[in-house]
Amino acid sequence: MNKNRPVNLDLTTIKLPITGFASFFHRVSGIFLFAGAAVLLWMLDSSLDSQESFAAVRDASANPVFKVVLWAVLSALAYHTVMGLRHLMMDCGVGESLEGGKRGATIAFAVAIVLIALIGVWVW
């Protein structure tokens, strides 16, 4: 192993292109969704259990902290879906070039931001 190779451990100095940010946040949103799915499944399970538990979930959803958590989970789901569709399109040969990848990432970010804003309006 070459001990004289450059090592950059300061993450703030690394300049990622937009495609790198899209890929990184796609992975982060997937990890967050793994935990966030538990929240959505709990809500579904509780709401289907009885009328009282449905009312409890409805009352809990009025809490601002609960709304923030729900918005975060649904936002991660929207972002992950948009970026996943972008990856599927690239697998089909659309936007495989460097310029196409940058343009696709920019469009996907714009679509994700619009969806996240719409989810915020819907939750509140």
Task: Report DSSP letters for 28-68, one per residue.
Answer: HHHHHHHHHHHHHHHHHHHHHH-HHHHHHHHHHTTSHHHHH
- Enter the pTM of the model: 0.84
Q: What is the pLDDT of residues 3-54, one digit of tens each?
A: 777 777 777 887 889 999 999 999 999 999 999 999 899 999 999 999 999 9
> What are the CA-CA distances from residue 63 to residues 47, 66, 76, 108 (Å)?
16, 5, 20, 31
pLDDT recorded at residue 3: 75
- pLDDT at 2 exceeding the cut of 70: no
Q: Give me the pLDDT at residue 63, please.
A: 95
Q: What is the mean pLDDT of residues 83-99?
A: 94
Arithmetic mean of pLDDT over the chain: 92
DSSP 64-113: HHHHHHHHHHHHHHHHHHHHHHHHHHHHTTTT-SHHHHHHHHHHHHHHHH
